[in-house]
Amino acid sequence: MSDGNPETINRQWLLKRRPHGMVSEDDFEYRETPLPEPDLAAGEILVRNLYLGFDPAMRGWMTDARSYIPPVPLGEPMRAVAVAEVIASENPAYPTGSLVQGLYGWQDYAVARPDDPVPPMALPEGTPPTMPLSILGMTSLTAYFGLLDVGQPQAGETVLVSGAAGATGSVVVQIAKIKGCRVVGIAGGEEKCQWVRDSCGADAVIDYHSENVTARLGELCPDGINVFFDNVGGEILEAGIEHIADFGRIVLCGQIAAYNDAEPRPGPHNMMYLVARRVRMQGFIVMDYLDRMDEAMHDLMTWMGEGRLAWREDIQEGFENIPATLLRLYDGRNQGKQLLKLAEPSTPG
Amino acid sequence: MSDGNPETINRQWLLKRRPHGMVSEDDFEYRETPLPEPDLAAGEILVRNLYLGFDPAMRGWMTDARSYIPPVPLGEPMRAVAVAEVIASENPAYPTGSLVQGLYGWQDYAVARPDDPVPPMALPEGTPPTMPLSILGMTSLTAYFGLLDVGQPQAGETVLVSGAAGATGSVVVQIAKIKGCRVVGIAGGEEKCQWVRDSCGADAVIDYHSENVTARLGELCPDGINVFFDNVGGEILEAGIEHIADFGRIVLCGQIAAYNDAEPRPGPHNMMYLVARRVRMQGFIVMDYLDRMDEAMHDLMTWMGEGRLAWREDIQEGFENIPATLLRLYDGRNQGKQLLKLAEPSTPG
């Protein structure tokens, strides 16, 4: 593997095949191609990726099923969010040397156009280059709209968050606390549970590695769960339904427990509770809230400025480690938002 | 078994034990008791049941689980909706000889009080005594609020209704048609399917006895299902989720497929579609809409007056047949709203 001579070579990890069951490094193929044409059309920019972001939902993009976004084509670079530096520009909105965010994929370089499905997002000068991928990234926006718009928590209500140590879940915990709720988190392992409790401010945390989640929920939520923000699905979703309160809301953000299943697993056996308890269970996709991003960013930056948001970044390095870094999400090894660093900005950010 | 001498005896079917799995006649016990005290307190009325109504949800009332209504106590008459005649009254709102509706249970006589959890509902003079239990009954109100308030169908959308030949489902089909939707029903057996299509006006009907529901839904709803009103649960719910459209709504009204399960059965394996397609799945209980009954009754009576609502009543007879009549709901033998006639009004209704 080349070191990625920025003058001549574009390293890429292509999606080689659609995974069956757990995604593996063998599902990807390494390739070196020439640097994309520097002969840009009007409006285009050439970017160099600095940081890649990883999210559990990427497993879904690899599958050839109808979804909210088309699957990654086989033989193309794996789709991924990245913060990149503009190194050539035919677009005054994105000057050379500035930072942008977009779906630039698992490669060193990409050409971006204003009419891309996700247009390049210019980052304000001085933005730390990891922040748009972590605390000011899509995962925080997901937390914001999922909790507040779909979950509709009221002060004093009990909010349950699964995947509470994750990039989305940890922000849900903290926004729910800011809104005056009592918050119970579910996470895997003592280290993560401690962080959710001590740094994110959850009132209680259940360690699903060592505790019986259903039993603990019964103890911790004797009056039921008003809002359940679920990132996990499977048995964790079933446990939450078991203790959902009358008129409870279940925010379906994702089902990481099931993303890598080769065969579909049974759903919750206790769906009848949704009727008797008049529960609203609702899925959502953050991309549907694009027109309200400003509102969320304003609140998130205000809370950051007030020191009310904790977050962690798990930064791996090395182009060769990109596929392995994705796998860290599915065995829970990541400690905080999973990133991978490819390069430093050529000019101080 | 006595013929129920109206002067001296109150026949009753008591709940003897909580059923495990399918409810059976042996779960009930026959008893004769003296007529309730005619010595009424102020506000009380003594009623004689004329017609009993049967609903699949009654299975849930027999189970000792937290729900929207307390379980029927063992040794007490089985809870049931009835239309009854007032035969003694200490309440001017309910004069002797008038008809009332209430939860008077599986017995000939009951004493009702204005402060009962469900107070007696006076029926306008001339009301046909079965109508408040069928087309103007709780099942139609369930259809009305579930479809319109929870499902929020828009003209031109595709609405799927399971249990479409049932008392609730058949009214859902017809209200959806009145609101300008395209309606697909699911029912069991050719006779029921024909009635749903020809009399209720469904655009298409799937016979789950003889057809592959998932495959047929794919053919009939190529653009997906916008609103799924589900009375059934289990595999039918899973099939509907498989073909739910983006931003679809699933109205969870009941899960008759599961009411008599001894052990919980797995839920839908395709819950992930709820996320990717931003689906809202919501349970409801018609009793939460008590303050809006007038609005629903106005619309239902208007549509009836315009000849736009078809319905069927399946009227059994004989006090001894009460438990067996309940079972008709769970094997699908009932043809229309299940009722049982106990007596004629003593004065023309």
Is the CB of residue A47 less than 8 Å from the CB of residue A84? yes
Query: Residue B260: its pLDDT value, please?
Result: 78
Residue A335, classified by CB atoms within 10 Å of its CB into exposed (0-12), middle (13-18) or buried (19+), is: middle
| A69 or B72, greater pLDDT | B72
- Token pair, residue B295, equals 């609005």
Banded pLDDT at A165 (limits 50, 70, 90)? very high
B259 Cα to chain A: minimum distance (Å): 9
**Element holding B283 (H helix, E strand):** strand B280-283
Q: Which residue of A has its CA nearest to B57?
A: A276
Gap from B113 CA to chain A (nearest CA, Å): 26
A287 touches chain B (CB under 8 A): no
Spell out which residues of chain A touch residue B285, defining contact as CB-CB under 8 Å. 275-276, 278
Mean pLDDT, range B104-110, rounded to an integer: 97
- Burial class of residue B8 (count of CB atoms within 10 Å of its CB; 0-12, 13-18, 19+): exposed
Mean pLDDT, rounded, for A32-46: 89
**pLDDT at site A213:** 97
pLDDT band at B19 (very low <50, low <70, confident <90, very high): very high
**Predicted local distance difference test score (pLDDT) of residue B349:** 43
How far does CA A235 lie from the centroid of its chain?
21
pLDDT of residue B5: 53
Contact call for residues B338 and B329 (beta carbons, < 8 A):
yes
Instruction: Check CB contact of B275 with chain A, cutoff 8 Å.
Output: yes
The minimal CB distance from A266 to the residues B254, B266, B272 is found for: B266
The pLDDT assigned to A292 comes to 95
**In Å, what is the CA distance from B30 to each residue of A112, B15, B80, B320, B321?**
79, 9, 16, 9, 11
pLDDT-based confidence at residue B7 (cuts at 50, 70, 90): low
Of A265, A268, A276, the CB nearest to B67: A276
Q: Give the whole-angstrom CA distance, residue A225 versus residue A209.
A: 21
Q: Choose between B223 and A68: higher pLDDT.
A: B223
Mean pLDDT of chain A: 93
Q: Report residue A326's pLDDT band, with 50, 70 and 90 as the boundaries.
A: very high
Residue B254 has a pLDDT of: 87
B residues 136-195 near A, CB within 8 Å? none
Both tokens of A85, joined, read 């530096």
Per-residue confidence (pLDDT) for residue B80, from 0 to 100:
97
The closest CB to that of B267, out of A258, A266, A282, belongs to A266
DSSP B77-132: BPP--EEEEEEEES-TTS-TT-EEEE---SBSEEEE-TTSSS--EEPPTT--TTGG
Q: Which range has the worst mean pLDDT, A223-232, A252-261, B105-114?
A: A252-261
The pLDDT of residue A8 is 79
pLDDT above 80 for B66: no
**Contact partners, residue B33, CB within 8 Å, separation at least 6:** B9, B10, B12
Q: What does the pLDDT average to over A283-294?
A: 93
Closest CA to B325 of B312, B342, B338, B308: B338
**Which DSSP letter does residue B6 get?**
T
Nearest Cα to Cα of residue A250 among B282, B277, B252: B282
Determine the pLDDT at residue A68: 79
Q: Tally the C-alpha atoms within 13 A of residue A211's C-alpha that lie toward its C-beta.
A: 22
Residue B325, SS3? helix
pLDDT in tens, A15-35: 999 998 999 999 999 999 998
Q: Of B254 and B303, which is predicted with more confidence?
A: B303
Structural domains of chain A in order of their starting residue, each with its CATH number: 9-134+312-341 (3.90.180.10), 138-288 (3.40.50.720)
Query: Does residue B251 contact residue B228 with C-beta atoms inside 8 Å?
Result: yes
Is some CB atom of chain A closer than 8 A to the CB atom of B287?
no
User: To the nearest 10°, the Cα dihedral for B39, B42, B45, B46?
Assistant: -10
CB within 8 Å of B70: residues ≥ 6 apart: none
**Angstrom distance (rounded) from CA B53 to CA B311:** 15
Which DSSP letter does residue B155 get? T
- Residue A265 gets the label, from left (phi > 0), alpha (psi -120 to 50) or beta, of beta
Rounded (10°) angle between helices A167-178 and A138-145: 40
A91 touching B (Cβ < 8 Å): no
Closest by CA position to A233, among listed A208, A215, A211: A208
Q: For helices B293-305 and B138-145, what crossing angle results, to 10°?
A: 100
Contact B68 A276 (CB under 8 A): yes
Report the alpha-carbon distance of residue B163 to residue B186 in Å, rounded: 6
Region B277-282 average pLDDT: 97
Nearest CB to A264 within list B255, B270, B288: B270
Q: Is B276 within 8 Å of A68 when comparing Cβ atoms?
A: yes
Binary contact (A233, B272; C-beta < 8 A): yes
- Name chain A contacts of B255, Cβ cutoff 8 Å: 271-272, 275
Which residue is closest to A267 within chain B, CA to CA? B267
**CB distance from A93 to chain B under 8 Å?**
no
Strand partners, B252: B230, B283
pLDDT at A40: 92
- Is the distance from CB of A188 to CB of A209 less than 8 angstroms? yes
HEC readout, chain A: CCCCCCCCEEEEEEECCCCCCCCCHHHEEEEEEECCCCCCCCCCEEEEEEEEECCCCHHHHCCCCCCCCCCCCCCCECCCCEEEEEEEECCCCCCCCCEEEECCCCECEEEECCCCCCCCEECCCCCCCCHHHCCCCHHHHHHHHHHHHHHCCCCCCEEEEECCCCHHHHHHHHHHHHCCCEEEEEECCHHHHHHHHHCCCCCEEEECCCCCHHHHHHHHCCCCEEEEEECCCHHHHHHHHHCEEEEEEEEECCCCCCCCCCCCCCECCCCHHHHHCCCEEEECCHHHHHHHHHHHHHHHHHHHHCCCCCCCEEEEECHHHHHHHHHCCCCCCCCCEEEEECCCCCCCC
Question: Residue B32: helix, strand or coil by DSSP?
Answer: strand
Token pair for A161: 């968050």
A253 interfacial to chain B (CB closer than 8 Å) = yes
Residues of B (33-72) whose Cβ lies below 8 Å from A: 60, 66-68
The closest alpha carbon to B25, from B331, B326, B337, B316, belongs to: B326
Mean predicted confidence (pLDDT) in A97-118: 92
Overall average pLDDT of the B327-338 stretch: 91
Work out the minimum CA distance from B258 to partner chain A, whole angstroms. Answer: 8
Q: β-strands A182-187, A158-162: how paired? A: parallel
Q: Are A296 and A289 in contact (CB under 8 A)?
A: yes
Nearest CA to CA, how far is A162 from chain B (Å)?
A: 15
- Across the interface, which of B237, B255, B272 has its CB nearest the CB of A255? B272
Helix, strand, or coil here: B76?
Answer: coil
List of chain B residues whose C-beta atoms are within 8 Å of the C-beta of residue A236? none
Phi, psi values for residue B159, rounded to 5°? -115, 130
Mean pLDDT for the stretch of residues B233-261: 92
Q: How far apart are CA B29 and CA B16, in angstroms?
A: 6
Of B254, B258, B275, the CB nearest to A252: B275
| Residue B265 with chain A: CB contacts under 8 Å | 269
Give per-residue burial for A263-294: e unless 16+ CB within 10 Å, then b.
eeeebbbbbbbbbbbbbbbbbbbbeebeeeee
CA distance B224 to chain A (A): 12
Residue A267 scores a pLDDT above 70: yes
Place B348 in a pLDDT band, splitting at 50, 70 and 90: low
For residue B35, the 8-state DSSP code is P
Q: Please tell me the distance in Å from B318's CA to the nearest CA on chain A.
A: 32
Q: What is the ipTM of this complex?
A: 0.88
φ/ψ bin of B173: left (φ > 0), alpha (ψ from -120 to 50), beta (otherwise): alpha
Residue A349: pLDDT band with limits 50, 70, 90: very low
Mean confidence (pLDDT) of chain B: 93
User: What was the pLDDT predicted at A347?
Assistant: 59
Does residue A66 have a pLDDT over 80? no
Residue A285 touches partner B, C-beta closer than 8 Å: yes
The number of helices, as runs of H, and strands, as runs of E, in chain B is: 9, 15
> In this complex, do B271 and A237 lie within 8 Å of one another by their Cβ atoms?
yes
Banded model confidence at residue B116, pLDDT cuts 50, 70, 90:
confident
Terminal-residue alpha carbon distance, chain B: 28
The pLDDT-based confidence of A3 (bands split at 50, 70, 90) is low
pLDDT tens across B198-222, in order?
999 999 999 999 999 999 999 999 9
In the block, tokens 């994309």 appear at A36
Model pLDDT, residue A244: 98
- Rounded to 10°, the helix B293-305/B167-178 angle is 80
Query: In the prediction, which pLDDT does B25 show?
Result: 96
Which residues of chain B have a CB within 8 Å of the CB of A276? 60, 66-68, 283, 285
